[in-house]
């Protein structure tokens, strides 16, 4: 269960609403704009690596950057910034963690076994 903090600083978001007098229909934080601006050239470079061509209007790259930005910011909250979410995704993608506990055979203890002598 998540408890909401009563600290107003955590609930405040730095949001760009658009130019004065013309409010944008979406409310994105400055961090979302920054991640989007960094992802578009990254996807353009990856597209160039695959095809060796540069598009005039990078529609697919913009769409991928929008989807990736929304996926990243689903997991962002005041206690987990975007860089931690990205670092976690990259480290989980590269390798999986080893199990914390080794797999051992069950330990058999003969504490309750009694041996009786049979009289022949």
Using alpha carbons, select from 78, 68, 83 the residue that is nearest to residue 13.
78
Q: What is the DSSP string of 96-118?
A: PPPPSS---PPPP--SS----PP
pLDDT tens figures, 49-91: 999 999 999 999 999 999 999 999 999 987 899 999 999 888 8
DSSP reduced 3-state for 118: coil
Can you give the pTM of this predicted structure?
0.68
Domain limits, the chain:
8-83
Dihedral over Cα of 15, 79, 67, 51: its sign: positive
- What is the pLDDT, as a whole number, of residue 35? 96
Q: Which residues, 6 or more positions from 4, have their beta carbon under 8 angstroms from its beta carbon?
A: 11
């Amino acid at each position: 269960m998540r408890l909401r903090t009563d600290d107003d600083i955590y609930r405040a978001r730095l949001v760009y609403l658009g130019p004065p007098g013309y409010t944008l229909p979406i409310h994105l934080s400055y961090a979302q704009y920054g991640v989007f601006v960094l992802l578009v050239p990254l996807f353009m470079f990856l597209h160039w690596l695959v095809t060796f061509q540069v598009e005039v209007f990078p529609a697919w790259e913009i769409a991928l950057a929008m989807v990736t930005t929304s996926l990243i910011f689903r997991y962002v909250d005041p206690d987990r910034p975007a860089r931690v979410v990205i670092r976690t995704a990259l480290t989980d993608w590269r390798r999986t963690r080893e199990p914390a506990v080794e797999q051992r055979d069950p330990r058999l203890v003969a504490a309750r076994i009694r041996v009786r002598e049979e009289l022949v």
